Amino acid sequence: MSSHTSLHHASHGSSPIDAYRIEDEPFYRSSGDEIAWFGHAYAHRLPMVLKGPTGCGKTRFIEHMAWKLRKPLITVACNEDMTASDLIGRYLLDAQGTTWHDGPLTTAVRHGAICYLDEVVEARQDTTVVIHPLTDARRILPLDKKGEIVHAHPDFQLVVSYNPGYQSRSKDMKPSTRQRFVAMQFDYPEKEAEAAIVAGEARVPMALAARLVDIAHRSRALKHRGLDEGVSTRMLIYAAVLIGAGVAPRQSCEMTMTQALTDDPDIALALRGFVEAYFT
């Protein structure tokens, strides 16, 4: 799948969300029927939750689907300091006085973008409550500070993601929120598919990508035995990029895998052993 295919769309400047349109096809290799399933969900504008480990391709998938559907994509990286105003907007002072400025969620709702809330459980629960009226038949966003109710554009869809295997119970998605979404489970691809992804993204030979994937699979066996997460597909791509640029394989893996995953000397030693088994 080419990552350089252009998308033809309305000319820039005709809409506040034109800047969020994806012109070039994001590289994505399907591992099942997820593209078709998402297409059905979007056709009915059903809110969607993507579940899966960090770095397995959830964000790349939604970027690919936005490109494929020719819809703008507004992405919000959620964090514990994010407030409801960060999502919906606030009054700000400017040259004309006090003016309302839409937040990313409101912009998507007004103008018909896909709004992607990445790692939504990282946000405070009192913040995520604002999405509830958008996830049922009402499809509205109340702006209490402005005294306005925004009815969702026909093209608007809400998509959120989180990693259920990594979050503590205090940061799990509340049932009252979770039950408002249709869900799709993501995981790391099968070995051959993952190697093809790494080779395609980093532009390295398949043989090198396959060795990196083997290291990742061995590291994932350490999950819950000292590691919260094993080596992700994203980490493999980083390692492959560095190797392709001339950095020694063991040093590349040290930077992108071992040091990135753990500070525990025993776990780091085990990871280095995996690397040395493939790169002597």
Confidence at residue 14, expressed as pLDDT on a 0 to 100 scale: 64
Confidence at residue 224, expressed as pLDDT on a 0 to 100 scale: 76
Confidence at residue 49, expressed as pLDDT on a 0 to 100 scale: 96
Q: What is d(CA 148, CA 4) in angstroms, rounded to the nearest whole number?
A: 41
Confidence at residue 11, expressed as pLDDT on a 0 to 100 scale: 41
Confidence at residue 164, expressed as pLDDT on a 0 to 100 scale: 84
Contact 199/207 with Cβ under 8 angstroms? no
Contact 50/91 with Cβ under 8 angstroms? no
Please name the residue that has the structure tokens 């579940």: 51
Q: What digits encode the pLDDT tens for the residues 1-57?
A: 333 334 444 444 467 789 999 999 999 988 889 999 999 999 999 999 999 998 999
pLDDT < 50 regions, the chain:
1-13, 169
Contact 154/112 with Cβ under 8 angstroms? yes
244's CB contacts (< 8 A; 6+ apart) are 202, 203, 204
Query: CB atoms < 10 A from the CB of 254, how many?
Result: 18
Going from the C-alpha of 243 to that of each of 193, 253, 280, the distances in angstroms are: 20, 9, 14
- Three state DSSP letters for 172-184: CCCHHHHCCCEEE
Contact 173/121 with Cβ under 8 angstroms? yes
